[in-house]
């Protein structure tokens, strides 16, 4: 949507979009019986209203671009009634000035180039996350920080979950309170309008129940931009280690590469190599 689009422009676009999709949808596709000849091949307004569970007057006003507010629940009902695909559903929500719902789940497989990049970054701990901060792929260096991620249930391979529920991860932090608060603020900032997406609200609810610390920090509603910085940890095997922490967004994707960088040729790198091994072996 153009940033210059006014509220009235948005309402008109929404009305036109609904009319166009109503005209495209046949009664048979919507599971409605047909009797006699119809003047138009699409659905009538009263049929869409009935399918979506709203009044015909209210739906008529919506198609007339009247100044009315549409709830997320009704938007979902309209999308179903009109047979919208995922792209059209997102478009409908944006026209109504609502954060779009979650799209189809991300493919569990990542492009092989991502895995290759993680391998080349060893022994630098590196991993790839989605907007929920789920860890989708990682290298051997990463397992030195977060343990055997492969042994965890998929839903628990999550940066927030590990930060707030793993005693081992917590004990490595020199200043857990500050780092945890920053992680929550970064998450809220990166989620942006997607903060109301079902997958994210479910994660927040689970964390709120599992961790009073998360619930307390989440209530602050703090935001923070990401700034590359150094982080010092007390590792049970490596001792005190200082790493540079960077994040890079993957082009044309909703994923992010996160890496802790070791000074090349340093004693710290040697310590990591001792436990990770040669990444090419």
pLDDT, tens digit, 9 for 90 and up, residues 170-215: 999 999 999 999 999 999 988 876 777 778 888 898 899 899 999 9
Residue 103: closest CA among 194, 202, 20, 205: 194
pLDDT at 270 over 60: yes
Distance CA 269, CA 123 (A): 7
Question: What is the pLDDT, as a whole number, of residue 5?
Answer: 65
Q: What is the DSSP string of 72-126?
A: HHHHHHHHHHTT--HHHHHHHHHHTT-PPPP-SPPPSSPPHHHHHHHHHHTTS-E
d(CA 138, CA 135): 7
> How large is the angle between the packed helices 45-52 and 56-63, nearest 10 degrees?
120
Q: What is the pLDDT of residue 100?
A: 72
Q: What is the pLDDT of residue 105?
A: 40
- Cα(103)–Cα(141) distance, integer angstroms: 32
- Residue 243 β-bridge partners: 231
pLDDT at position 249: 87
Q: Which two tokens stand for residue 30?
A: 């919507």
Helix or strand or coil: residue 231? Answer: strand
- Residue 119 in tokens: 């391998």
Q: What is the pLDDT of residue 34?
A: 67
Q: Check whether 247 has a pLDDT greater than 70.
A: yes
pTM above threshold 0.85: no
DSSP string across 124-147: S-EEEE-TT-BEEEE-HHHHHHH-
Average pLDDT, the chain: 86
Q: What is the pLDDT of residue 261?
A: 94
Flag whether pLDDT at 103 surpasses 70: no
Compute the average pLDDT of residues 22-49. 81
pLDDT of 182: 94
258 vs 72 pLDDT, higher one: 258
pLDDT reading at 97 higher than 80:
yes
Min mean pLDDT across 1-15, 40-54, 161-175, 248-262 is at: 1-15
- The CB-side HSE value for 119 (13 A sphere, CA atoms) comes to 8
Q: What is the mean pLDDT of residues 20-37?
A: 81
3-state secondary structure of 211: coil
Distance (Å, whole) CA 163 – CA 145: 11
Give the pair of three-digit tokens for residue 181: 């608060």
In the numeric block, which tokens belong to residue 133? 């901060």
Whose tokens are 């590792």? That residue is: 235
Angle 94-99-101 from CA coordinates, rounded to 5°: 100
Specify the range with the lowest mean pLDDT, choosing from 131-140, 163-172, 185-194. Answer: 185-194
What value does the CA radius of gyration of the chain take, rounded to a whole number of Å?
Answer: 25
Q: How far apart are CA 242 and CA 73, in angstroms?
A: 48
Higher pLDDT, 224 or 278: 224
């Amino acid at each position: 949507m153009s940033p210059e689009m006014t509220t009235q422009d948005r309402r008109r676009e929404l009305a036109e979009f609904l009319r166009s999709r109503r005209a495209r949808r046949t009664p048979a596709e919507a599971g409605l019986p047909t009797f006699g000849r119809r003047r138009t091949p699409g659905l009538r307004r009263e049929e869409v209203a009935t399918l979506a569970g709203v009044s015909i007057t209210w739906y008529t006003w919506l198609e007339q671009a009247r100044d009315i507010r549409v709830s997320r629940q009704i938007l979902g009902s309209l999308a179903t009634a009109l047979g919208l695909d995922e792209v059209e559903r997102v478009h409908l929500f944006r026209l109504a000035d609502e954060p779009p719902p979650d799209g189809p789940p991300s493919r569990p497989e990542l492009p092989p180039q991502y895995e290759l990049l993680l391998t080349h970054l060893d022994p630098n701990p590196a991993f790839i996350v989605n907007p929920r901060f789920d860890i989708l792929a990682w290298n051997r260096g990463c397992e030195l920080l977060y343990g055997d991620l492969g042994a965890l249930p998929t839903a628990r391979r999550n940066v927030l979950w590990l930060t707030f529920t793993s005693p081992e991860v917590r004990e490595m932090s020199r200043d857990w309170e500050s780092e945890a608060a920053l992680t929550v603020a970064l998450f809220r900032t990166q989620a942006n309008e997607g903060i109301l997406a079902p997958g994210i609200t479910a994660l927040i609810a689970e964390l709120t129940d599992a961790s009073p610390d998360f619930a307390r920090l989440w209530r602050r509603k703090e935001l923070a931009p990401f700034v590359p910085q150094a982080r010092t940890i007390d590792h049970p095997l490596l001792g005190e280690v200082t790493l540079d922490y960077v994040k890079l967004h993957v082009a044309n994707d909703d994923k992010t590469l996160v890496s802790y960088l070791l000074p090349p040729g340093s004693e710290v790198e040697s310590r990591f190599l001792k436990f990770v091994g040669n990444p090419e072996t």
